[in-house]
Amino acid sequence: MTKVLVIYTGGTIGMIKDPESGLLNSFDFNSVYEHIPELNRLNVEIDTMSFKKPIDSSEITPKHWVELAECIKKSYSAYDGYVVLHGTDTMSFTASALSFMIQGLQKPIIFTGSQLPIGVIRTDGKENLITAIEIAAAKDSNGESIVQEVAVYFEYSLYRGNRSSKVSSHQFEAFKSPNYPELAVAGVNIKYKWNSLLRSQHPEPIYQFDLSTSVALLKIFPGMDIEIYKGIFNLAQTKGIVLETFGSGNAPSNIAMQKMMEQYVEAGGVILNITQCSTGGVKQGAYQTSSFFNKIGVISGVDMTAEAALTKLMFVLGTCTSVAEVKELISTPICGEMER
């Protein structure tokens, strides 16, 4: 029988209401069958494990990403797929980070969670969990996993993890993949989009867990006083900056801002330009207001989400040993996170 490991990190999905206090508490995930007896009817052998102290995903740090990735590395030969239950708030960050930390997967790592706790009658958590397990266990006619990458399953859609973003704090349809099609849609049957699925040339996964946290995320806005952000452009502290710019990668022609960026890049800092728009990407040089970025060596993040850009920067800075290498790798698609 196909074997899937379900790892509970925390978040709303694993909560039930204490009947006395009325408060939401995490339940012991090893007793998940009591709460979702339907799992017994899936033709899948399910093991469960849980973070010692399940956390709200706002508390997630790169240390937790490493813990999760280590757990998958250690058990990789024992399971056909993984389901990671995670709070929705930062799920796309964790899924993006894991896609870089474990490349060349031959098995699925499916993230899911829910907007309503599993112990609430109208919960979306049951469907999300059951279908995520089905996807994690799904094989093609050659006996190979259909999904061989990190993905997010939520409200009937499967998205590439590093293309996903949380877009709603209250709707069941909480995630979107703004610049890449869904990998699968669950209706009466689960319809896989075969042409969109990632396939690796590597026979085994490549694990790389060194991440740099010397990164910043800066969103520009009209009238921005760059002096306030001076500290960010200090290379001793910040090795790389994800800059969220207007439209197709544009910024005001503010001399003080340009000078600060130029000096930072000259000193060896890396600036990665992504758009603030919810769809589309960066085309540096399309307008006068982005040509300066080409001149000083700001790197285009093309159509990456902020979650993918930031975690890729952490990964690349943690992995590469020279600025030239960082610039090369950050501009190269690694695992389907950006358009070629």
| Site residues (vs ligand ASP, CB under 6 A) | 10-12, 56-58, 87-89, 113
Residue 12 or 145: the one with the smaller Cβ distance to ligand ASP is: 12
Main-chain phi, psi angles of 256, to 5 degrees = -60, -40
Is 213 designated active site? no
| Strand duo 240-245 + 270-275: pairing | parallel
Residue with the CB atom nearest ligand ASP in the bound state? 87
Residue 132 or 316: the one with the smaller Cβ distance to ligand ASP is: 132
Q: Which two tokens stand for residue 250?
A: 């544009």
Which candidate in 2, 12, 90, 123 is catalytic? 12
Cα 6 to Cα 301: distance, rounded to the nearest angstrom: 33
Residue 79 or 153: the one with the smaller Cβ distance to ligand ASP is: 153
SS (H, E, C) the chain: CEEEEEEECCCHHHEEECCCCCCEEECCHHHHHHHCHHHHHCCEEEEEEECCCCCCHHHCCHHHHHHHHHHHHHHHHHCCEEEEECCCCCHHHHHHHHHHHEECCCCCEEEECCCCCCCCCCCCHHHHHHHHHHHHHCECCCCCECCCCEEEEECCEEEEHHHCEECCCCCCCCEECCCCCCCEEECCCEEECHHHCCCCCCCCCEECCCCCCCEEEEECCCCCCHHHHHHHHCCCCCCEEEEEEECCCECCCCHHHHHHHHHHHHCCCEEEEEECCCCCCCCCCCCHHHHHHHHHCCEECCCCCHHHHHHHHHHHHHHCCCHHHHHHHHCCCCCCCCCC
Residue 64 or 107: the one with the smaller Cβ distance to ligand ASP is: 64
Q: How far is the CB of 14 from ligand ASP (least distance, A)?
A: 9
**Residue 7 near residue 49, CB atoms below 8 Å:** yes
Q: How far is the CB of 251 from ligand ASP (least distance, A)?
A: 32
Q: How far is the CB of 128 from ligand ASP (least distance, A)?
A: 11
Q: How far is the CB of 165 from ligand ASP (least distance, A)?
A: 14
Residue 116 or 260: the one with the smaller Cβ distance to ligand ASP is: 116
Q: How far is the CB of 113 from ligand ASP (least distance, A)?
A: 5
Q: How far is the CB of 5 from ligand ASP (least distance, A)?
A: 20
Residue 91 or 151: the one with the smaller Cβ distance to ligand ASP is: 91
Please list the active-site residues. 12
